[in-house]
Structure 1
């Protein structure tokens, strides 16, 4: 569940600096330190970065809408869970189901002290996102 507490000021300033460095702030260059930063990568992947109340940054991206309750939903959740379990050792990101149980998301929490570390985490996250986007894509039958 997403916290309603304000973000850690140091993490929020760092994320804001990263957003400015990447040209992701409003047209006037200003944004509230409490606001998340949305970004698009390669015109394919949409990410949201948010400073956390306890420090650090979380990166999230929506992977797939969950089907209505039933066999298809159960199969998808089981398949994604098994793959996520296998990837936990090698990757910092993981799959989660949102609080409303409507979608599967990829998320990664980053303890960071520099914009460079945020950028490195975003790069690793996008690499994982490329895998997960294909892995959860609906299977096509001929």
Structure 2
């Protein structure tokens, strides 16, 4: 059984925290990789671990500050996550966005609508190591 992994963020790539035994995946930071196929391909390659876990639900958090040239890969990631969910193992997607970045909210809405899959949208003051909700 895979315990998961953590990828540290860079100026152009988000941190990735993947804990399949807990049904958890989080991407946080900038998503502007020079080679999005390589970066997201690594994430995709580990997703089947979620299908082999005795978990009740899959919880995914997107907390992205900037998104460039990787929207397609976020679409693919959501599509793959939806395919791993079921009535017995629901998928909960939370899309955090900074109040002053409506374009990030729009990307999340577009992906949610494209797959007709509900996301929970949460406005935050600033995306950092920990999230603080706007009031």
TM-score tier after normalising by the smaller chain length: under 0.3
> TM-score normalised to the size of structure 1?
0.27
Greater RCO structure (CA 8 Å; 6+ sep): 1
Higher strand share: 2
> TM-score normalised to the size of structure 2?
0.28
Q: Which has the greater radius of gyration?
A: 1
